[in-house]
Structure 1
Amino acid sequence: MAARRRGFVSGVALLAALAAPSMAGAQNLLFWSTQATPVEESQAIRDNVLPGFGKPVTYSAQEAGPFITRIQAELQAGSGAITVLGGLHGELASIPDGLVNLDGVVPAGAVAESYMGFGKLGTAEQKYIPWMQATYVMIASKQALQYLPKGTDLQKITYEQFYAWGKAMAQASGGPKIGFPAGPKGLSHRFFQGYLLPSFTGAAVVKFKSPEAEKMWSDFRDFWHEAVTPASTSYAFMQEPLLNGEVWVAWDHVARLKDALNQKPDDFVVFPVPAGPKGRANMPVITGIAVPKTSNAPEDAKALVAYMLKPETEIAMVKATGFFPVVDVKLPDDMPASAKILGPVVAAQNAATDSLPVLLPIGIGDAGGRYNKVFSDTFQRIVLGGQPAREVLDQQAQSLQAILDEKKAPCWAPDPKSEGACKVE
């Protein structure tokens, strides 16, 4: 009986949420977003970005699963409480039919056409407006530079040189000095998806269990145990262990390195990610802002989209989140040190002749968490658990394929386009 009652209460709560627009009207502007989930970033948006809009806006940061589930429920119901959506390209790509056409909402040329093209989601309409961009980079304490292999150019570093560097530091300092955000709240799954695997296979998905992938995982396992601090499995943000000296070299999202660079800008160097045999794979993070067809205040929603793309608002977002603008702006002199340091490195990484851009997963909708878990589990079993790479890859490939088949998700770059669901070879 108690379980039945809890289910009834949950159902009432959902209905109440969906009915909210009829009670609150256009005054309740809800900005539903997967971005800026750390409490400090969300609060900075509420305090320093949204007040300039002139109307009260509730910024609600969500994990990908609840984000997709809620908007899909509102679209199915035909009405909702969400005013505006903010999400990754792949998240918004799962609901193109549920988004309003935003053609003409921002001035022509304000955002690069190449980025605006992403926002069409394969249609003739502007389904979202690119909002912010970010990526992941490498960072090193200057004390680590003395151990670089001879002849290494940090701007063109390879994984072979990176591995040798890590081993040299461990031998010289008496312990591992490389760190990864491999804790429960860390983003190491993105490293495997968008950096390590494609750098060695040239693919995001189709080569998941290839011989190249098998060797890559085996080599990374050896590197991990020789050069990576075991505490990495507890790290969420790399800026803290960098600041306290536990780690000398790390990989992380630019927004999760900004505190270290702001506090001690002269102690660190930032550089592009390493290159493998197939290129310098990197994952540009493109976020978009959209209006659902069930928006409770469509005109206010479009005005809020236009406001968020103003140059002054984009600058405020850099300060609040560490993400970079998609509009052409000149950053003022009072910008944090992190923005000044990271900006040129992000640009250099994108422009590298061997750059291999890897899109975030597209078309998997609310299965994003399960998709990430395939990579996290592969890492835990092969690298931490010492299980045979071939056996693990064959098993995990089945889980990966099941997600792609269930969601009918086509391949995304750098994999070739597919007819129907992407297939792991």
Structure 2
Amino acid sequence: MTRRSVLRAGLVTGAAAGAAPLLSGCFGFDTTGGGGGKLVFLSSQFIAVEEAQRFRSVLRKAAPGASFVPAEPSAFATRVSTEVESGRVGTGVIGALYGELAQFAPDRLEDLSDVAARLSGNGYTRDMLELARFGTDKTYFIPWMQATYILAVNKKALEHLPPGADVNNLTYDQFLAWAKEARAKNGRPVFGLPGGPKGLLHRFVQGHLYPSFTGGQITTFRSDDAVRMWEYVRELWTYMVPASTTFEFMQEPLTSGQVQVAWDHVARLAGAPAAAPNDYLMVPSPAGPKGRGYMSVLAGLAIPKGAPRRSEGKKLIEALSRPEVQLDVLRQNAFFPAVKTPIPRDLPIGVRLEARAVDLQQRHGLLALPPARLGTQDGEMSAAFRNTFTSIVLDGDDIRATLGKQAKVIQELLDGARAPCWRPDPDSGGRTCRVA
């Protein structure tokens, strides 16, 4: 199978997984609108079996009366919509990314202003609280946890850094020069990206490259700056490990030595330093002409409209909002707390290294969010960005023609969902975002 066909297979696999009603766990609870069984906590996060098991260990201590049910994002959206619209809600609490919750707000979510008032001392940022209100004067979700994407570096690669480059303050030009020099000195590429079937390469394009080079994501999709960005990506890819089209969790090729420098989600890098903690650094993503674009993943806790046992649901949300519980999630699954709390020293080495990199990136970065209010079409938006990468970088197609073609696809998705713009694109005032 060629590199191109592997990446294309990933798109098909990802679409199929997203389309199936894949709910892990037929636990015997009542899904018809209340009654017996445990309180159902449905989540689009921690879908991987190992992550789900680790989170259940956290949940058993924090709220033993809840049953955790992870679901693929499209199945999550379908289930919540179906239950609320039918008036037969069996789910007590939902946990999902901001963009996934936005599709239900405000009409299909319960008002959680009373919970927010009780948790007002938790130190949530102004941005988080603003997002939780969805432009209203009420709160519809409680910030749960956050994550981002950074670089993991085996210290062997540091000797190939360009002269004068600071690994904690890289530009994309320096990143390219570093990858080029590392390949020359090693006799093979040693930089990698997660381009496999379940890899997050599209987030690199959406949340890091586009903001860094163009200042936007959708409104700058086919701009002159975007053309220059894609010219850069074409060159950068020639210095990536060829197996990058198969990588999903970059901690694995890092651990095996196949890769020395990798970009990925913090949860997919945290395990790399475990066997050799002194061999690794975690550093911020590079900066481009428009700044250090980075994608912040904010997850929230909400209650669907008409949910059963709402008082229990609110207690579950408050339990998961305790600092010690959020730190336990950090230890287990490398998602950082949404509450303000000191990061302890007894964390796994990978998480401790990440904490510093995340702090540096947030202090000196241009915030980007994942797509919002797309509902079950979120996977199609991801596919559009991955298809753009495949066409331009792997197939060598004309950049402007490809951007024009994919811009039409993206606009159709936005029109179908009536989705307004999200950061870093300018506020569209509630109107549908326009590709430019």
Normalising by the smaller structure, the TM-score range is over 0.9
Distance 1:253 1:52 in 2: 27
Q: Does structure 1 conserve the Cα–Cα contact (< 8 Å) formed by 2:33 and 2:308?
A: no
Q: What is the aligned partner in structure 1 of residue 388 from structure 2?
A: 378
Deviations 1:71-117 (A, max 9, x none): 00011001221111000001001101111111232422213241222
Q: Say which is worse superposed, 329-338 or 96-105, in terms of deviation.
A: 329-338
Q: Say which is worse superposed, 107-116 or 149-158, in terms of deviation.
A: 107-116
Equivalent residues in 2 for 1:343-354, closer than 5 Å = 343-352=355-364
Distance 2:123 2:111 in 1: 16
What residue ranges of structure 1 are gaps of 5+ in the alignment?
Answer: 1-9
Q: Does structure 1 conserve the Cα–Cα contact (< 8 Å) formed by 2:295 and 2:370?
A: yes
The answer to whether the aligner puts 1:42 opposite 2:52 as a matched pair is yes
The answer to whether the aligner puts 1:402 opposite 2:415 as a matched pair is no
The answer to whether the aligner puts 1:123 opposite 2:141 as a matched pair is no
Distance 1:141 1:64 in 2: 33
The answer to whether the aligner puts 1:313 opposite 2:322 as a matched pair is no
Q: What is the aligned partner in structure 2 of residue 188 from structure 1?
A: 201
Moved over 4 A (4+): 21-24
| Shift of residue 220, structure 1, vs aligned partner | 1.0
- Which residue of the other structure, out of 58, 61, 68, is the alignment partner of 2:70? 61
Q: Does structure 2 conserve the Cα–Cα contact (< 8 Å) formed by 1:138 and 1:249?
A: yes
C-alpha change, 1:172 and 1:86, in structure 2 (3 Å) is same
Q: What is the aligned partner in structure 2 of residue 3 from structure 1?
A: none
Q: What is the aligned partner in structure 2 of residue 5 from structure 1?
A: none
The answer to whether the aligner puts 1:87 opposite 2:96 as a matched pair is yes
- Which residue of the other structure, out of 190, 194, 206, is the alignment partner of 2:219? 206
Letter in 2 for 1:171: A
| Shift of residue 200, structure 1, vs aligned partner | 0.8
Aligned identity (percent) is: 40
Q: Secondary structure at the match of 1:240?
A: helix
- Which residue of the other structure, out of 277, 283, 292, is the alignment partner of 2:295? 283
Letter in 1 for 2:211: P
Distance 2:331 2:122 in 1: 20
Q: Secondary structure at the match of 2:213?
A: helix
The alignment yields a C-alpha RMSD, in angstroms, of 1.9
The answer to whether the aligner puts 1:110 opposite 2:122 as a matched pair is yes
The answer to whether the aligner puts 1:421 opposite 2:425 as a matched pair is no
Equivalent residues in 2 for 1:355-374, closer than 5 Å = 355-374=365-384
Letter in 2 for 1:217: W
Q: Secondary structure at the match of 2:203?
A: helix
Letter in 2 for 1:424: V
| Shift of residue 26, structure 1, vs aligned partner | 5.0
Deviations 1:277-306 (A, max 9, x none): 111000111110111113222111111000
Q: What is the aligned partner in structure 2 of residue 4 from structure 1?
A: none
Distance 1:210 1:166 in 2: 27
| Shift of residue 397, structure 1, vs aligned partner | 0.6
The answer to whether the aligner puts 1:269 opposite 2:281 as a matched pair is yes
Letter in 1 for 2:164: G
| Shift of residue 44, structure 1, vs aligned partner | 0.6
Q: What is the aligned partner in structure 1 of residue 6 from structure 2?
A: none
Distance 1:331 1:25 in 2: 40
Q: What is the aligned partner in structure 2 of residue 216 from structure 1?
A: 229
Distance 1:397 1:332 in 2: 45
Q: Does structure 1 conserve the Cα–Cα contact (< 8 Å) formed by 2:420 and 2:433?
A: yes
Distance 1:312 1:60 in 2: 22
Distance 2:61 2:151 in 1: 34
Q: Say which is worse superposed, 141-150 or 115-124, in terms of deviation.
A: 115-124
What residue ranges of structure 2 are gaps of 5+ in the alignment?
Answer: 1-19
C-alpha change, 1:53 and 1:248, in structure 2 (3 Å) is closer
When normalised by structure 1's length, the TM-score is: 0.92
Q: Say which is worse superposed, 204-213 or 111-120, in terms of deviation.
A: 111-120
Letter in 1 for 2:411: Q
The answer to whether the aligner puts 1:146 opposite 2:156 as a matched pair is no
Q: Does structure 1 conserve the Cα–Cα contact (< 8 Å) formed by 2:47 and 2:72?
A: yes
Q: Does structure 1 conserve the Cα–Cα contact (< 8 Å) formed by 2:30 and 2:37?
A: no
| Shift of residue 329, structure 1, vs aligned partner | 2.2
